[in-house]
Structure 1
Amino acid sequence: MTGDTTPAPDHAPDPAVVVGDDGLARPAWAATDPLLREYYDTEWGMPVRDEHGLYERITLEAFQAGLSWATILRKRPAFRAAFDGFAPDRVAGYGDADIERLLADAGIVRNRAKILAAVTNARATIRLREHGGLADFVWGFKPQQTPEPRTFAEIPTTSTESWALAKALRAQGFAFVGPTTMHALMEAVGIVDTHLLGSHRRGTSGIWPA
């Protein structure tokens, strides 16, 4: 009834999550599509602490800007093939012929600015090795606390730390690393835990308590 402010009983189902046929609660975006469900259950939010893994994810997050993550995830095998497995040393050496090759590859997102950013960021990743490496650099922006969202509306899209990380990466020569993209990265690699409190994945990274 409109205007009814009676609190829901404690046993009321959480509208923010969907319980699957396996009895596990997931957010709606990960509840139906088998690929997204597998990604959510096994990968999203788990710690990534190596240079290669972080470079790949920074690259894919940049390509995702303006698109759905499902699109990028379905294309990830093609991206890996096109970008030499996201090996920074290989991508850093790309020249004009490689750029044209990538622009002609229908298996990936053919966006010149994002392709050039991948090369730029590979070179910046290599330079960071002289200052502790990409993994330590990115994880240095881990906050003291993580969000505890109960609903999608409570999940932030940026944070003080993602703004700071974006600024610091740009200062190191990285491109396509805005605060929203970096917040998505921090979620994906376990630096923050934005799993809904009602999700079966909450607290499973080992970085943050449930």
Structure 2
Amino acid sequence: IKYHDEEWGRLVTDDKTLFEFLVLESAQAGLAWITILRKREGYKKAFHHFDVEQVARMTSEDIEQLMQFDGIIRNRLKIKSTITNAKLFLTIQKEFGSFYNYILSFFPDKKPIINKFKSLSEIPVSSPESDAM
């Protein structure tokens, strides 16, 4: 699958892509990831190509329209949370300069941790950084 080969596990520093991943990961809650990947283009269309400022301005009318759009998971709470998350994303950008800077603030050395696990059994359930987040 293209996503696994070209995107998964790669460092992402630009806020637009980070917002896209936030939207998609939030939509995935309780569902298989492949379900969301198959609807990725629908999410792109529904949420203004992941333009966080436009998503933050979406209204209840927009929500009603999206409830009729089969290109996404039509769950009202997930749609509303996407709009709420966009507003919070903008607040974080304003405070930290970027969402990426906010994420880095959880890491003492201000750089991502690259793990090299060889088996699933080596992967910890949590880390000090994940607990802080």
Give TM class, smaller chain: 0.7 to 0.9
Which position in structure 2 is the counterpart of 1:71?
35
Q: After TM superposition, list the pairs within 5 Å mapping 1:176-187 onto structure 2.
A: none
Q: Tell me how far apart the structure 1 counterparts of residues 68 and 107 of structure 2 sit (CA, whole Å).
A: 38
Amino acid across the alignment from 1:41: D
Which position in structure 2 is the counterpart of 1:11?
none
Q: Is it true that 1:153 corresponds to 2:121 in the alignment? A: yes
Amino acid across the alignment from 1:131: E
Unaligned 5+ runs, structure 1? 1-36, 166-210
Alignment CA distance shift 1:48-1:153 (3 Å): same
Structure scoring higher RCO (CA < 8 A, sep ≥ 6) equals 1
Amino acid across the alignment from 2:102: F
Q: After TM superposition, list the pairs within 5 Å mapping 1:67-146 onto structure 2.
A: 67-132=31-96, 133-142=98-107, 145-146=113-114
Query: Which whole-Å deviations, capped at 9, do the CAs of 1:95-119 have from their partners, x for residues lacking one?
Result: 1101111111111111111111110
Larger radius of gyration: 1
Q: Tell me how far apart the structure 1 counterparts of residues 62 and 114 of structure 2 sit (CA, whole Å).
A: 40
**1:146 CA displacement:** 4.5
Q: Secondary structure at the match of 1:107?
A: coil
**1:159 CA displacement:** 2.8
Query: Which whole-Å deviations, capped at 9, do the CAs of 1:164-195 have from their partners, x for residues lacking one?
Result: 22xxxxxxxxxxxxxxxxxxxxxxxxxxxxxx
The number of residues matched between the two structures is 129
Q: Secondary structure at the match of 2:39?
A: helix
Identity %: 39
Amino acid across the alignment from 1:102: L
Deviates more, 1:102-111 or 1:89-98: 102-111
Amino acid across the alignment from 1:129: Q
**Normalising to structure 1: TM-score of the pair?**
0.56
**Normalising to structure 2: TM-score of the pair?**
0.86
**1:160 CA displacement:** 2.5
Query: Which whole-Å deviations, capped at 9, do the CAs of 1:148-167 have from their partners, x for residues lacking one?
Result: 422223333433312322xx
Q: Is it true that 1:163 corresponds to 2:116 in the alignment? A: no
Q: Is it true that 1:56 corresponds to 2:20 in the alignment? A: yes
